[in-house]
Amino acid sequence: MTIFRTFLDKADERLGDGLEHVLCAHHRRRLRGLGWGDVLGRGGAADPFGGRAAVRDGNRVEVLIDGEESLPAIAEAIRRAKSHVHIANWHASADFRLTREPGAPTLRELLAETAGRGVGVRVLMWAGPPVPAFQPTRGLAKEQQRKLTEGTGVRCVLDSRERTMHCHHEKVVVVDDEVAFVGGVDFTALQGDRHDSPDHPPRDIGWHDLATRLEGPVVADVAGHFRHRWTEVAGEDLPEPKRSRPAGETRVQLLRTVPDGTYGFAPKGEFTILDGYLRALRSARRLIYLENQFLWSPEIAEVLLDKLRNPPDDRFRIVLLLPRKPSNGADTTRGQLGRLVDADDGAGRLLAATVSAHEGETAAPVYVHAKVGIVDDEWLTIGSANLNEHSLFNDTEVNIATDDRELVRTTRLRLWAEHLGRPMSEVDADPADVVDGLWRPLAQEQREREDRGERRTHRLVLLPGVSRRAGRLQGPLRGLLVDG
């Protein structure tokens, strides 16, 4: 039986590798044909903040961690709107409340009150899948559209221009073309409770996510993206956004995935999120830290594999924070994590972990919905894009990236303090020392307790169920089936 299982594992690995080569070749051909072939080249290692996306100086960027910070900030900006509020989201529920405060208005009430003051309120949502295979269905999207618009003065348009088996996944809010929010937070309770705090008290399912609040010249890029989509889908031509005066000292890029053949404003698409990630990851010397809902992009995995096999420094580390199970219940990484484990080969440069909520005898999962990339405390991206073919090639997505070193470092320390349950001062050391001295011992201890059937005592734990070749064939096969 053992010999048979070994044979099946080997066959799965070989077939998976072969299919992945086919998938990557397909991606190269597709991008070359669209004029984006250089994205998958080897260039840009010395310039992680280069590429095709415009760089805007003079911005103020605030990183909002978890719903407790992000949702009230968005609500307050909407309340202060004078001219217009523009929202683009995967899905929005009319009865969703942006804060937990007693008497807090629903999204419908908040937007209706804003529109009632003469503010133009426009909401752009994905129309849902053509067949009701998963949420939000087209029927649900239409129902929420009706609830948001009937008797409110709010305009809500459903966008069905998705590629087959893909969606409009971005999460963007623009207020008066003066402030914008870009991140991963949806205005809905579908699949989990978006209201959560860094303490993550046990609930049915916790939710770890991030957003950014932007002021300055980059806001016009966010507003322009919404304008382009709205004009094509709603047929209403909005004014060209004016570029704001400098509001800070942070350089920012707006990165996007816009699939080819979807919109007239980008007939050959845009793939600057993929470009940004690949450039930054290739440039890494000491640390790659990724929080993401999915990690199965072969293009991303190949860079990580190369870094593990040929580490640029003895103290180089890769830390991955992933959900225990993604929303579809399938293998989190489609075998890519097993490949990374093989490449690390016991060197201790790779750590893959997840988090949960604990309070006394009560425990509950925390869903990692964040989409964060940090490289060497010199580059940071936050947005809606997962590290899979959907987000990097086929869904509409919006991220921001910055090389503001103080902001990048502070964001990493805040996240590490949250996950390790320690004050920021205790995680403010050489990243390799913190990974080896805090992350790994804590996560390993909790994994051992879990394996013994004992109650866990800390939120951090090694990602369970990671075999060296789990689902190797499954990933590229699905990728080929869904990626036209």
pLDDT along the chain (484 residues), means of 10: 56 68 90 94 69 95 97 98 98 95 95 98 94 85 98 97 89 98 94 84 88 98 98 96 97 97 97 96 97 93 96 98 71 76 94 89 87 98 96 97 98 98 97 98 95 92 66 56 51
For residue 285, what are the contacts with CB-CB under 8 A and spacing of at least 6? 312, 313, 316, 376
pLDDT value at residue 56? 97
Dihedral over Cα of 60, 63, 69, 71: its sign: positive
Nearest to residue 466, comparing CAs of 348, 340, 344? Answer: 340
For residue 299, what are the contacts with CB-CB under 8 A and spacing of at least 6? 24, 27, 40, 274, 278, 392
pLDDT value at residue 419? 97
pLDDT value at residue 197? 87
pLDDT value at residue 338? 86
**Phi, psi of 255, rounded to the nearest 5 degrees:** -110, 140
pLDDT value at residue 329? 44
Strands 206-208 and 179-183: unpaired
pLDDT value at residue 405? 98
Domains (ranges, CATH) in the chain?
10-54+254-482 (3.30.870.10), 58-249 (3.30.870.10)
Distances (CA, A) of 155 to 79, 86, 111, 145, 342: 17, 10, 10, 9, 52
Long-range CB pairs of 132-135 (<8 Å, 24+ gap) are 134/328, 135/91, 135/190, 135/191
Nearest to residue 399, comparing CAs of 381, 377, 412, 415? Answer: 381
CA distance 242 to 220: 6
> Per DSSP, what are the bridge partners of residue 444?
none
In the DSSP assignment, the letter for residue 37 is G
CA 78 from chain centre, in angstroms, equals 23
